[in-house]
């Protein structure tokens, strides 16, 4: 199995990566037209997004190196539950179905090679991610109005004020994780309004997003097959670049093309290992 992407994705991300480096210079360009980018949801509205994602991971320890490649397709629905005020929305994002195709190979005698395919239908309960949902209360700029940060790619943080082409804005999130893997991830992002495609119907804002992340966590779990408790800590850092297409009139994201890279180092009671991963993904709005 091989990760694939279209020539369009390659060229767009090349432009994306190059222009991110020019943010400071581009922000000084003079523009006459400005746009107020806002989410415009209605109570009861449902938007379904389809994601295609390819993850390539390599984990190295003292005894082996284990590469892994996973293709993943998913359908998720953003539902508008309430509109508490004219400028806030309560939304939920539910995973409807997931399909994965996985290759795994290693250099040790204990490693495995092969493919695994799984399909999970929509449902309120069950294994894996079936029926999993998140709820957020956000403003028209996509920012959380509660203590819980927004973690969905369908809700990019937008500027509070009107912006013109080549204007930039920033955001920051601190995400707390609980359970067997407790820790904090800090995400910072820089956004650039690269273009307004007025000729398209509806008009689309093309936004380039550059993110960086740092994380640290502690974990503790027991292997049932060996009745052994394993504990340790992990530190990670990552970066990503995305192109986001935003429907200016209807106030919603219609497509996202992304590339991300992450490196981590873990120390545990069973030894240490390093991991590096890269991801390529496309997200498209399939129902409006």
Q: Is residue 157 within 8 Å of 141, Cβ to Cβ?
A: yes
Calpha distance 235→184 (Å, rounded): 10
8-state DSSP, 158: -
Instruction: Note the pLDDT tens digit of each residue in 200-250.
Output: 888 999 999 999 999 988 877 776 666 777 778 889 999 999 999 999 999
Q: Of 71 and 59, which is predicted with more confidence?
A: 71
The range of the structural domain enclosing residue 72 comes to 44-287
Q: Between the CA of residue 266 and those of 61, 67, 83, 115, 180, what are the distances in Å?
A: 10, 17, 43, 27, 15
Calpha distance 153→160 (Å, rounded): 19
> How many domains are there within the chain?
1
Query: What would you report as the CA-atom Rg of the chain, rounded to the nearest whole angstrom?
Result: 21
Instruction: Note the pLDDT tens digit of each residue in 133-161.
Output: 899 999 999 999 998 899 999 999 999 99
Nearest to 265 by CA among 288, 245, 236, 238: 236
The answer to whether residue 39 sits within a structural domain is: no
Helix runs in the chain, H state only: 7-20, 23-26
pTM for the model: 0.80
**Residue 279, domain CATH:** 2.40.128
The answer to whether residue 14 sits within a structural domain is: no
Instruction: Note the pLDDT tens digit of each residue in 118-135.
Output: 555 444 443 344 457 899
Please report where in the chains the tokens 């890269």 appear, as a residue.
278
Q: Is residue 248 within 8 Å of 196, Cβ to Cβ?
A: yes
The answer to whether residue 202 sits within a structural domain is: yes
| Predicted local distance difference test score (pLDDT) of residue 38 | 97
The answer to whether residue 122 sits within a structural domain is: yes
The answer to whether residue 62 sits within a structural domain is: yes
Residue 67 token pair = 């590469």
Instruction: Note the pLDDT tens digit of each residue in 163-189.
Output: 999 999 999 999 888 777 788 999 999
Calpha distance 140→83 (Å, rounded): 11
The answer to whether residue 67 sits within a structural domain is: yes
The answer to whether residue 21 sits within a structural domain is: no
| Predicted local distance difference test score (pLDDT) of residue 61 | 74
Give Cα 218 distance to the centre of its chain. 22
Query: Residues 6 or more apart from 201 whose CB is under 8 A from it?
Result: none
Lowest mean pLDDT among 8-17, 60-69, 276-285: 8-17
The answer to whether residue 30 sits within a structural domain is: no
Calpha distance 67→209 (Å, rounded): 29
3-class DSSP string for 12-70: HHHHHHHHHCCHHHHCCCCCCCEECCCCCCCCCCEEEEEEEEEEEEEEECCCCEEEEEE
| Predicted local distance difference test score (pLDDT) of residue 125 | 40
């Amino acid at each position: 199995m091989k990760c694939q992407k279209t020539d369009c994705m390659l060229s767009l991300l090349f432009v994306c990566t190059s222009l991110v480096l020019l943010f400071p210079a581009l922000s000084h360009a003079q523009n006459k037209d400005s746009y107020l980018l806002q989410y415009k949801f209605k109570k009861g509205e449902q938007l379904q997004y389809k994601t295609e994602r390819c993850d390539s991971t390599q984990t190295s320890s003292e005894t082996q190196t284990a590469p892994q490649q996973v293709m993943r397709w998913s359908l998720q629905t953003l539902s508008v539950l309430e509109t508490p005020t004219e400028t806030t929305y309560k939304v939920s994002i539910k995973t409807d179905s997931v399909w994965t195709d996985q290759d795994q190979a290693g250099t040790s005698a204990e490693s495995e090679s092969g493919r695994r395919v799984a399909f999970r239908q929509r449902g309120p309960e069950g294994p894996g991610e079936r029926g999993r949902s998140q709820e957020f209360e956000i403003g028209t700029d996509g920012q959380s109005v509660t203590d819980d940060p927004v973690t969905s790619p369908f809700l990019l943080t937008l500027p509070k004020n009107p912006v013109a082409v080549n204007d930039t804005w920033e955001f920051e999130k601190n995400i707390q994780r609980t359970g067997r893997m407790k820790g904090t991830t800090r995400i910072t992002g820089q956004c650039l309004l690269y273009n307004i495609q007025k000729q398209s119907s509806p008009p689309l804002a093309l936004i380039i997003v550059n993110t960086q992340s740092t994380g640290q966590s502690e974990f503790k779990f027991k292997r049932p097959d060996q009745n052994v408790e394993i504990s340790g800590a992990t530190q990670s850092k990552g970066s990503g670049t995305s192109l986001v297409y935003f429907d200016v009139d209807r106030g919603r994201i219609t497509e996202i093309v992304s590339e991300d890279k992450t490196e981590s180092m873990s120390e545990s009671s069973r030894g240490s290992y390093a991991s590096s991963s890269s991801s390529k993904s496309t997200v498209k709005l399939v129902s409006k």
